[in-house]
Amino acid sequence: MTIIPVSGQAFAPYDVVVGRGLLASAGERIAPLTRGRTVIISDRTVADLHGPALARSLEAAGVQTQIVAVPPGEGSKSFAELERVLDRLLEAGLDRKDVVVALGGGVVGDLAGLAAALYMRGIDFVQVPTTLLAQVDSSVGGKTAIDTPRGKNLVGAFHQPRLVLADIDVLATLPAQQVRSGWAEVLKHGLICDAPFFDWLAGPGAAGAKGDPAALEWAVIRSVEIKSAVVGEDEKEAGRRALLNLGHTFGHAIETALGFEEAALAHGEAVALGCALALRYSVREGLCPAADAERAEAVIAAAGLPTRLSQAGTFGADQLLALMAGDKKAEGGALTLILARGIGQAFVAKGVDAASVRSFLIEEGAKA
Ligand SMILES: NC(=O)c1ccc[n+]([C@@H]2O[C@H](COP(=O)([O-])OP(=O)(O)OC[C@H]3O[C@@H](n4cnc5c(N)ncnc54)[C@H](O)[C@@H]3O)[C@@H](O)[C@H]2O)c1
Ligand SMILES: [Zn+2]
């Protein structure tokens, strides 16, 4: 078991606990944060698989527990489910000194975190992330949000958790595509700022992409360390936090072009492809040695993740470019991209020339 403290100037410090069998001892850790009562927010799939173990552990620690389960999937990041969850918290009679527990993937974490941020002007919440993506990414950093028909994550709040419990054992029930999808964010962390970690991911660590618990444990620990270091420096994404968007401007454009609902590509698959594109674009601009981009591509592909546009579908260059420029991370019409000078050396590139990105996309197989 490893405890990673997360701290920053703008929020109260909290611990991320990473280890095996944490669900069984969660009650002891969460009980001191409550006044004897909590509501677990989950989705129906996770509530069935892991809700009883968590509820038992809380009850054994003297915490009266209810579970509220939303339908699985991105559709639950909605005003309708937010309203329903808030109503259930009111019905349960939680007050400002109680805590909410988010048990699930990024959907549940984002929804429950926003509900906690809003409930009675804000109550504490604990994250118990159950997908690899949630363990290495969404449970840390305090971003919460729901979607609207106009786009993803457009309504939200910064609300840091009180505690994060990342139990590697719950990943055993996760479908293989979800493991690979989370693995893309792990690879991303190595590509951003940790070449030795990327070497490990390319070698012995590669077993994590196939679900090996020991490899997953170290991958989660190192990812949380990297994400928390970046977030601690810059909670609200003014500068360095943007590095965590490596692969995401390309990736979001690809996801949006395909349509989220069809889920043709998991988020992490789009991010993996986006990372490969960002590195190749960096090579094209003379910023990055070709060997680094080729190596990154080989490692991403070996994890069963896509690296070429043709693996995702058919795209128009102008369509992708418009989606990239429309990304809320774009500033003043100019394209901001996360590029790299090599593996482990990502940087924020502002004012990237849209015409050169368009030419690059065509070289990559997008339609002119
Ligand atoms: N807040 C942030 O900083 C941040 C960062 C990245 C992503 N996100 C958000 O995270 C969301 C995606 O999260 P996700 O990929 O975890 O998706 P998810 O929460 O929808 O979970 C994926 C699927 O796996 C199932 N599942 C979860 N845990 C399981 C387990 N242990 N065993 C079996 N099945 C399990 C779920 O029921 C669901 O069907 C997106 O909405 C994205 O916007 C937020
Ligand atoms: Zn992501």
Residue 333 has a pLDDT of 55
Which residues have a beta carbon within 5 Å of ligand 2, which is an ion?
Answer: 271
Residue whose pair of structure tokens reads 């493991």 in the numeric block: 179
Range of weakest confidence among 16-25, 48-57, 146-155, 289-298: 146-155
What spacing in Å lies between the alpha carbon of 144 and ligand 1's midpoint?
Answer: 13
Question: Within this chain, do residues 123 and 184 fall inside the same structural domain, yes or no?
Answer: no
**Residue 350, in any domain of the structure:** yes
CATH code where residue 29 lies:
3.40.50.1970
Does residue 241 carry a catalytic annotation? yes
Residue 240 has a pLDDT of 83
Q: Are 171 and 211 in contact (CB under 8 A)?
A: yes
Does residue 236 carry a catalytic annotation? no
Q: Is 177 in the pocket of ligand 1 (CB under 6 A)?
A: no
The predicted-structure confidence for 236-268, as pLDDT tens digits, reads as follows: 666 788 999 999 999 999 998 998 655 578 999
Question: Within this chain, do residues 143 and 261 fall inside the same structural domain, yes or no?
Answer: no
What spacing in Å lies between the alpha carbon of 166 and ligand 2's midpoint?
Answer: 18
Domain stops at, among 145, 173, 201 = 173
Does residue 159 carry a catalytic annotation? no
**Residue 368, in any domain of the structure:** no
Question: Within this chain, do residues 142 and 205 fall inside the same structural domain, yes or no?
Answer: no
Predicted confidence (pLDDT) at residue 347 exceeds the cutoff of 70: yes
Residue 241 has a pLDDT of 87
Q: Which ligand is nearest to the CA of 160?
A: 1
CA distances from 46 to 43, 179, 208, 275 (A): 5, 15, 21, 29
Does residue 267 carry a catalytic annotation? yes
Q: What percent of the chain has pLDDT over 70?
A: 96
Cα distance between the two ends of the chain: 52
Strands 2-8 and 37-43 turn out to be: unpaired
Question: Which domain, by its residues, includes 332?
Answer: 176-363
Sign, Cα dihedral of 325, 337, 309, 131: negative
The residues, ordered by sequence, that sit 6+ positions from 182 with a Cβ below 8 Å of its Cβ are 131, 132, 133, 134, 135, 136, 137, 268
Question: Within this chain, do residues 181 and 156 fall inside the same structural domain, yes or no?
Answer: no
Residue 150 has a pLDDT of 84
Question: Within this chain, do residues 265 and 325 fall inside the same structural domain, yes or no?
Answer: yes
The predicted-structure confidence for 209-241, as pLDDT tens digits, reads as follows: 999 999 999 999 999 999 999 888 766 666 788
pLDDT (mean) for 283-304: 98
Per-residue confidence band for 152, with pLDDT thresholds at 50, 70 and 90: confident
Query: What is residue 98's three-state secondary structure?
Result: coil
Question: Within this chain, do residues 157 and 260 fall inside the same structural domain, yes or no?
Answer: no
What spacing in Å lies between the alpha carbon of 348 and ligand 1's midpoint?
Answer: 27
**Residue 271, in any domain of the structure:** yes
pLDDT (mean) for 111-139: 98
What spacing in Å lies between the alpha carbon of 72 and ligand 1's midpoint?
Answer: 9
Residue 331 has a pLDDT of 46
Angle at 227 between CA 221 and CA 228, to 5 degrees: 85
Question: Within this chain, do residues 116 and 228 fall inside the same structural domain, yes or no?
Answer: no
Q: Are 352 and 264 in contact (CB under 8 A)?
A: no
Q: What is the pTM of this model?
A: 0.95
Per-residue confidence band for 332, with pLDDT thresholds at 50, 70 and 90: very low
Domain stops at, among 128, 154, 173 = 173
Q: Is 74 in the pocket of ligand 1 (CB under 6 A)?
A: yes
Query: What is residue 66's three-state secondary structure?
Result: strand
Query: What is residue 139's three-state secondary structure?
Result: coil
**Structure token digits, residue 139:** 């449970």
Question: Within this chain, do residues 147 and 205 fall inside the same structural domain, yes or no?
Answer: no
Domain stops at, among 143, 173, 203 = 173
Q: Is 178 in the pocket of ligand 1 (CB under 6 A)?
A: yes
C-alpha dihedral (357, 363, 365, 368), degrees to nearest 10: 70
**Residue 90, in any domain of the structure:** yes
Question: Within this chain, do residues 65 and 202 fall inside the same structural domain, yes or no?
Answer: no
pLDDT (mean) for 142-153: 92
CB atoms within 10 A of CB 174: 20
Q: Is 73 in the pocket of ligand 1 (CB under 6 A)?
A: yes
**Residue 341, in any domain of the structure:** yes
Predicted confidence (pLDDT) at residue 157 exceeds the cutoff of 60: yes
Identity (one letter) of the amino acid at 18? V
Residue 289 has a pLDDT of 98
Predicted confidence (pLDDT) at residue 148 exceeds the cutoff of 50: yes
pLDDT (mean) for 51-58: 98
The atom number, within ligand 1, closest to the CA of 143 reads 1
Q: What percent of the chain has pLDDT over 90?
A: 89
**How many domains in the chain?**
2
Which member of 227, 255, 280, 297 is catalytic? 227
Question: Within this chain, do residues 216 and 318 fall inside the same structural domain, yes or no?
Answer: yes
Q: Is 156 in the pocket of ligand 1 (CB under 6 A)?
A: no
